[in-house]
């Protein structure tokens, strides 16, 4: 008989606890898998691989779920880092819409408008993958997972509110390939609808009952507003300009990703080091994501992007490709200062950017941030969600829209 006096008792207890944790994680992942397979049985055939990604041993039928995931999911995740959270994400849109006013009225129509299942849901997917990666370190109960799912939804609601306001500020007519809220319902209703979405996100956040998480995600709202303000001003000094741009980029884009990752980590009861890794990963992925967005504004077209391109110069904004180009073509500096508002400025600036290596340097900077995100995430325990986050940091460099 074993008892507390038995040598190795506490090690045995720890091992039993770990086994329980793994069983719990496996059970949940198995149910996700079953749903994926039922939804798309054909993809199993096409994506079969012969060896397990984790242990490299040959797979047999009896090893459909050899360690944590089936060969199909492992193969699929190599081409789509989001495959691990697809099932959860497919239900998020409806869950979000359920949070909006219950009676069918105009406010509900506007609130629902962008939750049409066509959005990329990039932020919720990153948050959910991070939740899975950090939960690998900790005990993860169902209640923890559902609170982390709430963060994913809150992130998307805040993001959507900011886009509705942004389109009013930028006077944009299209977003995600359809008319903006502003152009359908007018500015006043667009602003109020954005405020309404923020109020819904605040209620959902408060309901989580974790004051640290409330502070973390409220910081995002401040950052979004400050980032937008920073974008309205420019720096006289050329050396300060790039710092100003990067700081603005963090606040406008990366803060939401960084702090959503931080929030899911806190809710997962992670220690401070893991939470810091989660934040740094989100921050670097966010900055890389925005740098690519700024680059695509010079290299892509409206059909591909689903929103106007070549827009930044027209809005008076000097983003990374222009700032890099100005190092070779200083004649860009006075144009930057007058926010490209003189006749011919925009065409001239575009030509100089095309002649310079501004686009290539922007891509290189995005790559640096992607590498830093990977360096950070590799400090977590190896798991498939962690690998997906790593792959995501690479894939975002190749995105076309
Ligand atoms: C898109 O920028 C906009 C944002 C990432 C955030 C905008 C923030 C605000 C308007 C502040 C108000 C915030 C809240 C929470 C209501 P973009 O114009 O560079 O990108 P786009 O090409 O997608 O329009
Ligand atoms: Mg805009």
What is the distance in A from the centroid of ligand 1 to the CA of 282?
18
Q: Give 312's contacts (C-beta < 8 A, 6+ positions apart).
A: 294, 297, 318, 319
pTM for the structure as a whole: 0.80
Give the whole-angstrom CA distance, residue 75 versus residue 302. Answer: 33
- Does 194 contact ligand 1 (Cβ within 6 A)? yes
225 in contact with ligand 1, CB cutoff 6 A: yes
Residue found by looking up tokens 């779920």 in the block: 65
Q: Is the pLDDT of residue 392 over 60?
A: yes
Of how many residues is the chain composed? Answer: 401
> What three-state secondary structure class fits 368?
helix
- Kindly report the number of other CB atoms within 10 A of residue 177's CB atom: 12
| Per-residue pLDDT tens digits for 86-109 | 888 889 999 999 999 878 899 999
Say which range, 65-69, 121-125, 231-235, 271-275, has the weakest mean pLDDT: 65-69
Phi, psi of 91 (to 5 degrees): -95, -10
CA of 356 to the centre of ligand 2 (A): 25
Q: Is 228 in the pocket of ligand 1 (CB under 6 A)?
A: yes
Q: Which of 166, 199, 245 to mutate to test the pocket of ligand 1 (most atoms within 8 A of CB)?
A: 166
43: which 2 tokens? 């993809």
3-state helix, strand, coil in the chain (%, to 5): 75, 0, 25
Ligand 1 midpoint to CA 19 (Å): 45
pLDDT reported for residue 106: 95
Q: How many C-beta atoms surround the C-beta of residue 219 within 10 A?
A: 16
Residue 11's pLDDT is 60
Cα of 14 to ligand 1 centre, how many Å?
Answer: 47
Q: At what angle do helices 272-299 and 358-377 cross, to 10 degrees?
A: 160
Which atom of ligand 1 is closest in space to residue 227's alpha carbon? 8
Query: What is the Å distance from ligand 1's center to 137 Cα?
Result: 34
What whole-number distance in Å separates Cα of residue 315 and Cα of residue 227? 15
315 three-class SS: coil
d(CA 324, CA 20): 53
Q: What is the largest CA-CA distance in the chain?
A: 89
The pLDDT assigned to 321 comes to: 96
């Amino acid at each position: 008989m074993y008892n507390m006096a038995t040598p190795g008792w506490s090690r045995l207890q720890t091992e039993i606890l770990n086994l329980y944790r793994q069983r719990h994680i496996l059970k949940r992942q198995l149910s996700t898998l079953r749903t994926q397979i039922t939804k798309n049985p054909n993809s199993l055939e096409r994506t079969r691989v012969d060896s397990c990604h984790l242990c490299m041993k040959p797979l047999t039928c009896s090893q459909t779920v050899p360690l944590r995931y089936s060969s199909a999911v492992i193969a699929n995740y190599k081409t789509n880092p989001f495959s691990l959270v697809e099932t959860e994400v497919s239900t998020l849109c409806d869950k979000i819409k359920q949070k909006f006013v219950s009676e069918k009225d105009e406010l509900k129509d506007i609130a629902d408008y962008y939750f049409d299942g066509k959005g990329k849901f990039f932020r919720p997917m990153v948050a959910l993958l991070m939740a899975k990666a950090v939960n690998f370190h900790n005990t993860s109960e169902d209640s923890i997972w559902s609170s982390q799912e709430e963060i994913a939804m809150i992130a998307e609601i805040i993001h959507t509110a900011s886009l509705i306001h942004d389109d009013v500020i930028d006077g944009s007519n299209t977003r995600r390939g359809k008319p903006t809220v502003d152009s359908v319902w007018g500015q006043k209703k667009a602003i109020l609808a954005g405020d309404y979405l923020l109020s819904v996100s605040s209620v959902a956040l408060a309901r989580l009952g974790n004051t640290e998480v409330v502070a973390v995600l409220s910081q995002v709202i401040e950052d979004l507003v400050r980032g937008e303000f920073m974008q309205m001003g420019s720096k006289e000094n050329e050396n300060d300009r790039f710092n100003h741009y990067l700081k603005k980029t963090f606040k406008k884009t990366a803060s939401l990703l960084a702090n959503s990752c931080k929030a899911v980590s806190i809710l997962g009861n992670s220690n401070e080091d893991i939470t810091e890794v989660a934040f740094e990963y989100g921050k670097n992925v966010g900055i890389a994501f925005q740098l690519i967005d700024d680059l695509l504004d010079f290299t892509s077209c409206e059909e591909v992007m689903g929103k106007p391109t070549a827009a930044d110069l027209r809005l008076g904004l000097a983003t990374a490709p222009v700032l890099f180009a100005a190092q070779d073509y200083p004649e860009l500096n006075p144009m930057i200062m007058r926010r490209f508002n003189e006749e011919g400025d925009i065409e001239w600036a575009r030509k100089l950017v095309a002649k310079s290596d501004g686009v290539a340097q922007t891509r290189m900077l995005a790559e640096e941030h992607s590498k830093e995100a990977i360096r950070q995430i590799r400090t977590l325990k190896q798991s498939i969600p962690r690998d997906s986050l790593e792959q995501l940091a690479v894939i975002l460099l190749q995105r076309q829209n």
